[in-house]
Structure 1
Amino acid sequence: MAIRLKFWGVRGSIACATPQHMKYGGNTSCIEVEAGDYRFVMDAGTGIRPFGNAFLQSGTKCSHLLLTHTHWDHINGFPFFVPAYNPECAIHIMAGHLKSRGDEGIQDILSTQMHNPMFPVPLEAMQAKLRFEDFDAGDSFSLPSDITVKTAALNHPNGATGYRIEHDGSSICYITDTEHVPGQMDENILGLIEGADLVIYDSTYTEEEFPAKVGWGHSTWNEGMRLCQAAGVKRHAIFHHDPEHDDAFMDKLAVEAEAAWEGNFVSREGMELIIE
């Protein structure tokens, strides 16, 4: 059976809703995954709001939310995630970057962003059956419908977690946010993505932009391509687009990337893929 995924948000750092960003999309990170008869979501950027509306309309009542990390562009859609307010829904929220650091857990972080005076509605107003779980990046676990999830730590300020989703012989990897070291391939990432059908990779900067942004925690599509080629990956989704990169910029980037390797493509909000 196949893995189906849909990009509900592909932008990095901050949402942008201008006419010049509509082709590729302005919502921040959120990806829906369906494998077997189970649907879940990765990251809670602003894209989780439209995902949540579609989720409820489908009649689905139970799901997981897997978070890469808790920088704003990956969690600030959560207060607008309508299923979390529905008492008939059950949402299992997981994060792998906090436990080993001794920081507050994922429930504390999501609650804090909804505290007065930042937000008028507290986490306690969410009536769904919410379960919060912190794990260590590097752990593996299972989801319903015989889905296996493997994880690895990423190189990002305050920590982040990469995910590998496996189901019935197919595999996808979600690798954001992460910063590479020029000339060195990240062994954590190589091990996680080896032989995957698809890798979604943090491609915020161009190689020309990257030197001025060292330490900001992001990478380039060129590095994503190098990792994918080294690990025998079939396809590479360029993701986490810089808000300064409008549609015209992304069109040019897409031409360059696709010419460099047939496995490269630029992700767009609303894009759906079937991995078999």
Structure 2
Amino acid sequence: MSSQHNGFTIHFWGVRGSIACPGPETVRYGGNTPCVEMRVGRERLIFDGGTGLRVLGQSMLSQMPVEAHLFFTHSHWDHIQGFPFFVPAFIKSNRFRIYGAIAPNGSTIKQRLTDQMLHPNFPVPLQVMQADLQFYDLEVGESVELGEITVENTLLNHPGEAVGYRVNWRGHAAAYITDTEHRPSGLDENILKLIQDVDVLIYDATYTDTEYYSPATSKVGWGHSTWQEGIKLAKAANVKTLVIFHHDPLHNDDFLDRIGEEAIQHFRNTVMAREGLSISLVESAVSDPVPLQQEAKASIR
């Protein structure tokens, strides 16, 4: 069953990187790992299956039957650990198309999701999932056409490789760029091309420049970027709104507040990703966070 939605909205279900970190110091931004849902036209697109996917799945149970397209950037644990707990995948009436690039070792996204659920790592195998699961292997640079929607991808700079995505629909576009490390030689041309003129750029800003370049605890080579580099990309590519995403688990709510305040001084249309945030590209406005069990209706300015 296709969704009756007919706009372009982005919902954030998990915004944290590396490892889930629930607790009193992460209440306002959330502790779940990456999962971003885009409702585009009559289609539902989901990017990454971190622990936020479990929460999204719970919200879907009142909407059965459901169909969606799941796009994985890569298969590091923080991006796939919610998949075994995605309840709609265990329900026969549902259908999910699952996409991912082949890993450098030749493994497909189906193989990697299957391996995660093998004994002794998980009590039930992927084959127990009763939904119609269809897997697609993507080539880097390949486009996926879903009616009026085009999903493009590009290679990112991350250990073990990852891909970033751009979603185009009726003259609007959003890019999901995580996990990636900026290049010392200058702005990444692959990313610049993919994000040119997008309405919304969701960008891996795990670190601050101070943390990244610290002589004592350098993050160079760790596969992630900074909010300062995200702003450089946004300005160079004529991005309308930058969303700072994939927050470090050590960055508590107050720390993220300070990043947001400083980032806005350098790029006015900057938004800090938080669980429950909803963005509408069509109406062009940004909403305050809402409870995760509600389907947010909001916009960006």
One-letter code aligned to 1:151: N
Structure possessing the higher relative contact order (Cα contacts under 8 Å, 6 or more residues apart): 1
Query: Which residue in the other structure is 1:122 paired with?
Result: 125
RMSD over aligned CA atoms reads 1.1
Matches within 5 A, 1:1-276: 2-98=7-103, 101-144=104-147, 146-211=148-213, 212-276=218-282
d(CA) in 1 for partners of 2:110, 2:263: 39
Gaps of 5+ in 2: 1-5, 283-301
Corresponding residue SS for 1:108: helix
Alpha-carbon contact 2:117-2:123 (below 8 Å) kept: yes
One-letter code aligned to 1:252: R
Deviations 1:159-187 (A, max 9, x none): 10110001111100000000012351000
d(CA) in 2 for partners of 1:5, 1:78: 20
One-letter code aligned to 1:120: P
User: By how many angstroms is 1:208 displaced?
Assistant: 0.6
d(CA) in 2 for partners of 1:38, 1:61: 10
Alpha-carbon contact 1:85-1:126 (below 8 Å) kept: yes
Gaps of 5+ in 1: none
Q: TM-score, normalised by structure 1?
A: 0.96
d(CA) in 1 for partners of 2:88, 2:64: 11
d(CA) in 1 for partners of 2:239, 2:157: 20
Query: Which residue in the other structure is 2:289 paired with?
Result: none
d(CA) in 2 for partners of 1:60, 1:219: 38
d(CA) in 1 for partners of 2:263, 2:105: 40
d(CA) in 1 for partners of 2:130, 2:274: 32
One-letter code aligned to 2:175: C
d(CA) in 2 for partners of 1:200, 1:97: 23
d(CA) in 2 for partners of 1:50, 1:169: 31
d(CA) in 1 for partners of 2:105, 2:184: 30
Q: TM-score, normalised by structure 2?
A: 0.88
Alpha-carbon contact 2:102-2:109 (below 8 Å) kept: no
Corresponding residue SS for 1:3: strand
User: By how many angstroms is 1:60 displaced?
Assistant: 4.3
Alpha-carbon contact 1:43-1:65 (below 8 Å) kept: yes
d(CA) in 1 for partners of 2:97, 2:11: 20
How many residue pairs align between the two structures?
273
Corresponding residue SS for 1:21: coil
One-letter code aligned to 1:264: T
